[in-house]
Structure 1
């Protein structure tokens, strides 16, 4: 089957739309016609080499589409079903069977190796060169092959053009607050970096009833969005004294929780330093940077904790329907974060995300989907 995909052929090279061939469909996989895909910072981290990955590659891991073909072993899905795609997991290891599929023993092999565990590939160039896939979905393509564990079925009335970002960025923000930090009603939280992950965390903090929600960024427009979505306080860390403002807001006590989505060393350290006694911090960015701190002074002395949270430690098949429900209720209005781009504008969408102009770019790959409900593009 011939498809069109946005291919990255080398580190820091631009996306190029190329014709590829889909490989063999395995029994536990489906062919998905991609309607739309969010553009995530993790895609950019791989493209520029911050996280090493075998190239050439088709990136994209916030895909939403329609099943066109199913493998012989696939159950509970049918041709024509609307799906959101998240990450793959084995389903049989101890982590998967105890409700932590993002800690799957095979997570890296299934999502980050560029191919299937048996070494085969999903995409091939016209000359037979294999092209790596990402997250077992590679949604920057007109069609892809995805494992059944990637799939979350959504109701036919849901607009797939909006749904894709639920599969990674928003899932990560939501899950980090609920599953990772296990934030409590009435608590305080500081969120560093007000992109899609940060705003997903912010909206979740509001839903669960955090009484103090502090949004920190260097873009005033993003801070305005944060206030609109529930931030009780905002700080522009480029123009304001962060430590002083946090001390004022917390009456010198520090915050109960913090999340860093920036991956910048100084910011990650600041997210630890603003914690109060017993506070917990979660750095969640894909980053090549590290952070240096004194374990006794910065953690032990105040009983602070620093935790890793991958994909929000969430079960996508449970969390994504919950986020859709919150969206319908007006509690998770993530449509306010997005801007739509045509598929061939992928490099512009990436540039706008990098500059901060767009919080969550969404590529419309199938422009014929719901043509009776036209979108406003970038």
Structure 2
């Protein structure tokens, strides 16, 4: 195995702490791993929610799971990935268990170990600082770093014509929203879709709905800036705080001719999820995508008597090896227009990016390393 090298990471020292920068050692790749120099990484709500909820013993930690970069070293057992390849990084999956082979990589039996615990399967960490372990391997990458160790299952080689400072979000947010519309729900011209929460995942869902020709599309959010973006994708904007005496359920049913045939929740807010289900027409479908509420309640009589379906989805049921090239091809053809919602920041401004996305001033922040970084 090649020796470790020094690299820079945006590190979190304890639960809920801000991002700070540190110099650490990153391992050279093992025979089944690759070393990627990160050019840019999308900032996702999952990075923040997990940062704020993990126990203290799982820190210090490096987050980031929408990395894009260039392969610098390749392990001897790796096939199909070469030094110099441009890549997008996504979530890990073993691709051999029952979940992977029957349901898809998002439902891997080993998801928690491969994506969330902060170390390799043998308990080792890819990063160390002063000889002490630093938790990494978040979604098999921890790409709030200048260099990362990844594996062939979550490395997607892309055409070098794509701008690496813009495409990291295809590894999570964009494929989640688009996959949910195109492959999980598959609404058409006679259908209606309501998206609750129009951050990056929600906007990707709206972009996919426009491409799919969905008849009626509604966007629900409390942020006027995000509703304005949603309107540009052809959605009817709906701010629940501006409804006065009307209920959100009544207004959605009015806009969709009696109830939505399809809905997506990205908020993870229990009360919103309940209202989203109540706003469905008979046999309507709601897909829950947002992390947040540990539990949410539903109107049991409404769900049963109207044959409604409420389900979850991991990454829009996407296989990154297929979905990322598919969406990049659609974007190149003008059929998946999400580039305009990307706002780039220098990596040193990561905490400002957190503030801006939390306040709704931007939809999808992407953090970019300087060209002259080592």
Partner of residue 18 from structure 2, selected from 6, 11, 14:
14
Structure 1 pair 334/137, CA: closer, same or farther in 2 (3 Å)? same
Q: Distance in 1 between the 2:55 and 2:206 partners?
A: 26
Deviation at 1:184, TM superposition (A): 3.5
Q: TM-score, normalised by structure 1?
A: 0.93
More displaced 10-residue stretch of structure 1: 119-128 or 48-57? 48-57
Partner of residue 254 from structure 1, selected from 239, 251, 259:
259
Task: Give 3-state SS (helix, strand or coil) of 1:160's partner.
Answer: coil
Note if 1:357 corresponds to 2:373.
Answer: no
Task: Give 3-state SS (helix, strand or coil) of 2:325's partner.
Answer: helix
Provide Cα deviations, 1:148-176, integer angstroms capped at 9, x if missing partner.
11111111111100010000011110111
Report what 1:305 is aligned to: 309
Q: Distance in 2 between the 1:132 and 1:315 partners?
A: 23
Partner of residue 83 from structure 1, selected from 72, 82, 87:
87
Report what 2:272 is aligned to: 267
Q: Distance in 2 between the 1:207 and 1:307 partners?
A: 23
Deviation at 1:329, TM superposition (A): 1.6
Note if 1:347 corresponds to 2:322.
Answer: no
Note if 1:68 corresponds to 2:62.
Answer: no
Deviation at 1:298, TM superposition (A): 2.8
Structure 1 unpaired stretches of 5+: 370-378
Provide Cα deviations, 1:36-92, integer angstroms capped at 9, x if missing partner.
000000001012117998211100000000000000100011100000000111011
Provide Cα deviations, 1:204-248, integer angstroms capped at 9, x if missing partner.
1111121011101111221111111221x1101111242232122
Q: Distance in 1 between the 2:87 and 2:7 partners?
A: 19
Task: Give 3-state SS (helix, strand or coil) of 1:48's partner.
Answer: helix
Structure 1 pair 120/129, CA: closer, same or farther in 2 (3 Å)? closer
Task: Give 3-state SS (helix, strand or coil) of 1:256's partner.
Answer: strand
Report what 2:283 is aligned to: 278
Q: Distance in 2 between the 1:234 and 1:300 partners?
A: 29
More displaced 10-residue stretch of structure 1: 330-339 or 316-325? 330-339
Alignment of 1:1-378 (within 5 A): 1-49=5-53, 54-98=58-102, 100-231=104-235, 233-240=236-243, 241=246, 242-251=248-257, 253-295=258-300, 297-368=301-372
Report what 1:374 is aligned to: none
Report what 1:372 is aligned to: none
Structure 1 pair 51/267, CA: closer, same or farther in 2 (3 Å)? farther
Q: Distance in 1 between the 2:54 and 2:286 partners?
A: 23
Give yes or no for contact 1:33–1:65 (8 Å, CA) kept in 2. yes
Task: Give 3-state SS (helix, strand or coil) of 1:263's partner.
Answer: coil
- Structure 1 runs of 4+ off > 6 angstroms? 50-53
Q: Distance in 2 between the 1:35 and 1:218 partners?
A: 33
Q: TM-score, normalised by structure 2?
A: 0.94
Structure 1 pair 66/113, CA: closer, same or farther in 2 (3 Å)? same
- Count, aligned residues: 366
Deviation at 1:355, TM superposition (A): 0.8
Provide Cα deviations, 1:167-204, integer angstroms capped at 9, x if missing partner.
00111101111232233342111000010000111111
Structure 2 unpaired stretches of 5+: none
Measured on the aligned residues, the alpha-carbon RMSD in Å equals: 1.6
